[in-house]
Amino acid sequence: MNQIELTKGLYLAKKPAKEYFNLVDHYGVIDIGNVSGLFHNAGQSPIVIEKIAGKGNVANYASSDWIIIGKVKDHHILSAKIRLKTALNDPTYDLLGNNCEHFARFITEGKKRSTQVNVFAMAAMAGLVFLMSQD
């Protein structure tokens, strides 16, 4: 989905990995049409709301950089706006418990979860089981 195809709303999006050996994607929330109502300087221009090293960041949206994962349903926008304010006021950053994916999924889905952390944990567990099974 590119910018032209996106309608007014809040979107969960990821930017494919370019760092850390191409293993870790970056997540953010795309706001089309200032649905959040928090960033008046942006006007109606699409923006990306993201968490970088514990700080909320707002940047211009470049559709070629981001993959849209999902859209917040219209009847969930108010809840997402409240979660966005909460998330922006949370200065903590924790790779395993409050990273950029946790931030974006909390705002758009209402749950802090990270598919990347889950995959890493399963791989680590499988590696541990493998090592323990060796003589």
**Tokens, residue 64:** 């070629």
CA distance 134 to 116: 27
What is the per-residue pLDDT for 96?
73
Higher pLDDT, 26 or 64: 26
Give yes or no for residue 8 having a pLDDT over 90.
Answer: yes
Give the pLDDT band (50/70/90) at residue 22. Answer: low
pTM for the model stands at 0.79
What is the per-residue pLDDT for 116?
65
What is the per-residue pLDDT for 80?
97
Domain ranges of the chain: 3-133
3-state DSSP call for residue 71? strand
